[in-house]
Amino acid sequence: MADTPRLRRRLAAAALLLGLAPAGASAEGVHPGAERFLRTCSACHGEKGDGRSRASATLKTPPRDFTTEEARTNLSREYMIAIVRDGRPHTAMVGRTERLSQREIEDVVDFIRAAFLPPEPGTALAQGRERYRKSCAACHGDRGQGLPTRAGGPAVPPLAAARARAGLTAKEMLEATLRDPHAPGFSLPAPQPDAPEAQAVVDYVRSAFIEAAALRRGAEPKDR
């Protein structure tokens, strides 16, 4: 696929949607695994890793949905590397050794595992993810990308935006999660989270959205 300004804009926009790049970032500022995924894999697996792509309807074997518990359970890192390297017989998944080096294959696998696979069940991150989906995603988006308010007001800013990375400490995020109202004129759905549950949400948000973006840029997130 040719490297064009249009493609670079698409890479930056998709990475922003995934919570891995700030608004206005160029393709050069995106994690190499994200770039490889978008260039090589997203045509079938979709930009959100859920298999919902334009090509999916034309494929005899549906592309893998990486966002499911089945994917988390059955896809080890080693298995995924082997599939990207060698392909899968009788499917559209062909080996990529002619296009990708071993390092690039590992980059794209690590990106998929970090960006799409659910956390291990029973862990604090899994609990935080579940509460985030129930109480936070309606405003902040399923990938922390921010959504317009129902009243037509300004959109909620992306959690991975530069302002969030530079200005929100874990302590401040915990205080905001426990505060009622959570934002001017808005309370979280009942029941209000207790401190451990709120901490789990904060840890999930920082891990899935904010820290991923900071690490991609080689920066340390402020005050864990």
- The residue extents of the domains of the chain are 5-115, 124-216
Judge whether 5-115 and 124-216 match in fold.
yes
Higher pLDDT, 16 or 167: 167
pLDDT 10s digits, 104-153: 999 999 888 877 888 888 899 899 999 998 888 888 888 787 887 666 66
Per-residue pLDDT, 16? 46
Query: Mean pLDDT over all residues of the chain?
Result: 78
DSSP summary character for residue 58? G
Looking at the whole model, is its pTM more than 0.75?
Answer: no
Q: Helix, strand, coil % (nearest 5) of the chain?
A: 50, 0, 45
| Chain CA centroid to CA 119, Å | 12
Q: Tens of pLDDT along 57-67?
A: 888 889 999 98
- Dig out the tokens for 69 from the structure: 């518990």
**186 pairs with which residues across the strands?**
183
The arithmetic mean of pLDDT across residues 81-88, rounded, is 95
Is residue 189 a contact partner of residue 135, using CB atoms and an 8 Å limit? yes
Residue type, 27: A
Question: Which superfamily does CATH assign the domain made up of 5-115 to?
Answer: Cytochrome c-like domain (1.10.760.10)
E-strand ranges in 68-141 read none
Confidence label for 32 from pLDDT (cuts 50, 70 and 90): confident
Above pLDDT 90, what percent of the chain?
26
- Alpha carbon distance 200, 208 (integer Å): 12
CATH class of domain segment(s) 124-216:
mainly alpha
pLDDT at 54 over 90: no
